[in-house]
Amino acid sequence: MTDAPSPRPGGAMVEFDGVGLRYGPDAEVLCDISFNLQPGSFYFLTGASGAGKTSLLKMLYLAQRPSRGIVRLFGEDLVNMPRQRLPGFRRRIGVVFQDFRLIPHLSARDNIALPLRIAGVSEEDLSGPVGEMLSWIGLGERADAHPATLSGGEQQRVAIARAVIARPQLLVADEPTGNVDPEMAMRLLGLFEALNRLGTTVVVATHDVHLISRIENAQMMRLEKGRLSDPTGALRYPPANRA
Amino acid sequence: MIIPRVPAQHRRLLPDRRLSGPTPWVIAILMMLTLLAAAAGVGLARSANAIGSAIAGRVTVQIVTANPVTRAEQAAALRRAAAAQPFVLSARAVDREELQATLGQWFGSADGDDPVLNSLPLPALVDIDFVGANRNRQMQELRALVAAEAPGARIIPHAEWLGPVARLIGSLAWIAGGLVLLMTLASAAVVIMTARAALGTHFATIEMLHLIGATDRQITRLFQRRIAIDTAYGIALGSVVAAAILMLVGWQWAGITSGLAATASLGPTGWALLLALPLLAIALAALTARQTLLAALKKIL
């Protein structure tokens, strides 16, 4: 598998230009979406239910190709990229799903270790990071528990740990704090912020206004009926890279 | 590799229970029927070939001259004359005792002392085997010889009366071969359905693996291994049962030493084919599973 390249210096990590998305013959659920995401930046994606947030995120984490327009990730055109090359790009993206999507027959430890195992990391090398991550999310004592025996909040923490364990360059999170208490929400947001400080570009879809106000210099993308508004102007005219 | 190697930690990505439910049992039944059909096909084909080569170059001359002394003289003369011909491999006058013994089986007395049997005006028979394959010319020359040595005698080519039987056996062998082919296709269809069902059952896991960067090859090897192992269990079970049945039939067949039945056997090639079939079946199942999985995964981004 060819590894995905890094974005060129000064270039955007993600570029969407005139992107549209439709499912089947229906009208477009996303229309004329254009934005750039800079390396090391923090973005919130907001919008009412049905505005197209999840569809936009699916294109970001390579679960969906656009119906039209240009999508570039790490400097590479993804619209026409052969699917055999996609795994190399996906390994550099961490995803937190709204519905967790933990593998039910695997323990919390094995779910968290999954991205490292898929990437071919040896058992000796992955045991340390996985243990640390379990302790950090407060599930060190429940490492062998299966998802069905974990609460919603615990499952969410495992899902987040799985998304960040491989230190992704781009982290995409769909309502990551929707199932955790406010204290844990802040801790998780702190983790996202820490990753962001280390250079990870973070995109968080959320309805939580309090969350948005907690991150300094975060930029906001707002979707309304499938179209993107740019309240801060930062998407088209990005600030200097903070990394 | 028929059953791909997958690291133990990756194997856990699929649940411990077997993937395919009744698949090993269905495969076992199909494998058993395939082996039995293959054995029947090989046995019948060998029998047809044996009969065909035995009868192809053989004729019997039947001398029905009323006077027994003249009849015996004509038979002896014909045997001598035929044996001297370059197109004849062997010529043999059938003994009266041999004829009586054969007929005695039908009359209920094989001892030769049956007065009815002794009173029958039996024809004199001369068996002639030809050399080479130019039957028309050989028959022409034999007719001339018979006309000279035993006028009025009948020439009976064995192919005339055993040929239809040989052709029937040959047809049955082809039908058995067709059954083997059909059951192989049915087995492949079962594997395809199993692979698709497995993909459907584990779609959420597969989607997740894709999204965290698993390649088609990694996912395919995982499922291919499990399906190949399941199928191998079924093939092993079916092969054991078929082997037991074939050994039982073979043991009973060994007691049959006469007639057409004696010509039926598997021979070394047949046994080699039967031994190779289960291995070929496992390879076919693994290949079918792999292609099905790869084709299905290509539909997912």
Q: Model confidence over B151-195: pLDDT tens digits?
A: 989 998 887 777 787 788 888 889 988 998 998 899 888 888 888
Mutation target to probe the B interface, by most B beta carbons within 10 A, among A23, A105, A123, A165 is A105
Element (H, E) at A173: strand A170-174
Structure tokens at B153: 């005698």
pLDDT band at B244 (very low <50, low <70, confident <90, very high): very high
pLDDT band at B265 (very low <50, low <70, confident <90, very high): confident
Model pLDDT for residues A39-60, shown as the tens digit of each residue: 999 999 988 888 889 999 999 9
* Rounded Cα distance, A65 and A160, in Å: 24
Q: Is A103 close to B205, i.e. CB distance below 8 A?
A: yes
Model pLDDT for residues A131-178, shown as the tens digit of each residue: 999 998 889 999 999 999 998 888 988 998 999 999 999 999 998 887
- Cβ-contact A43, A204 below 8 angstroms: yes
Dihedral of alpha carbons B92, B97, B103, B105, sign: negative
Domain ranges across chain B: 8-52+163-300, 65-152
Angle formed by the axes of helices A123-136 and A152-164, to 10°? 140
pLDDT of residue B268: 85
- Residue from the list B205, B208, B214 with its beta carbon closest to the beta carbon of A87: B214
CA angle B141, B147, B150 (to 5 degrees): 120
Distance between A83 CA and the closest CA of chain B, angstroms = 7
Residue type, B277: L
B13 has pLDDT over 80: no
* Rounded Cα distance, A130 and A137, in Å: 11
User: In 3-state terms, what secondary structure has residue B18?
Assistant: coil
* Rounded Cα distance, A242 and A199, in Å: 9
Name every chain B residue with its beta carbon within 8 A of the beta carbon of A84.
Answer: 215-216
Q: Chain A residues with CB-CB distance to B under 8 A?
A: 1, 61-65, 83-84, 86-88, 90-91, 95, 101, 103, 105-106, 110, 113-115, 117-119, 123, 162
A241 has pLDDT over 70: no
